[in-house]
Amino acid sequence: MSLTRADIENIARLARLELTEAEIPVYVDSLSKIFAFVGELDRAPTTGIDPMAHPMPELAQRLRADEVTETNRRDTFQQNAPKVEAGLYLVPKVIE
């Protein structure tokens, strides 16, 4: 299967990735190759086979009690933030 430049631009937009002009043809080529390769899966007969989402299907997903267990460590966490003010994460203006 072959992807186009428009496909790559659309995927990048969905993935919130800005690509440079030089990157676009590289991804057109390599993603086309990957999807041609992945197309081998069509050979496998899977009618009536359940999709497997978890490698240990015999183990049920565990639930925990709805209790507060974490302490507030905002100041520690915000030491890694690019921009904070008065305990708030700063981003460009969202609503004009």
Partner 1 sequence: MSAPAPTVAALARGLAEGAFSSVELTRAYLERIAAAQPSLNAFITVTGESALKAAAESDAARAAGRAGRLTGVPIGHKDIFCTEGVLTTCGSKMLGNFVSPYDATIVSGLRTAGTVMLGKLNMDEFAMGSSNETSHFGPVRNPWDTQKVPGGSSGGSAASVAARIVPAATATDTGGSIRQPAALCGVTGIKPTYGRCSRYGMIAFASSLDQAGLITVSAEDAALLLGPMSGFDPHDSTSVESPVPDYTTTLGDSLQGLTIGLVREFFDKGLDAACEQRIRDAIAVYEKLGAKVREVSCPNLPLSVPTYYVVAPAECSSNLARFDGVRFGHRCDSPKNLLDLYCRSRGEGFGAEVKRRIMTGTYVLSAGYYDAYYLKAQRVRQLISADFARAFKECDLLFGPTTPTPAFRIGAKCDDPITMYLNDIYTIGANLAGLPGMSIPCGFVDGLPIGLQIVGPHFSEARMLNVAHRYQQETDWHLKTPSAFA
CA distance 10 to 17: 10
C-alpha to C-alpha distance for 34 and 84, rounded to whole angstroms:
41
Size of the site for partner 1 (CB under 8 A): 53
Helix, strand, coil abundance in the chain, percent, nearest 5: 40, 5, 60
- Site map 11..50 versus partner 1, x via CB under 8 A: xx-xxxxxxx--x--xx--xx-xxx-xxxxxxxx-x--xx
Contact set with partner 1 (CB under 8 A): 7-8, 11-12, 14-20, 23, 26-27, 30-31, 33-35, 37-44, 46, 49-56, 59, 61-62, 64, 73, 76-77, 79-83, 89, 91-94
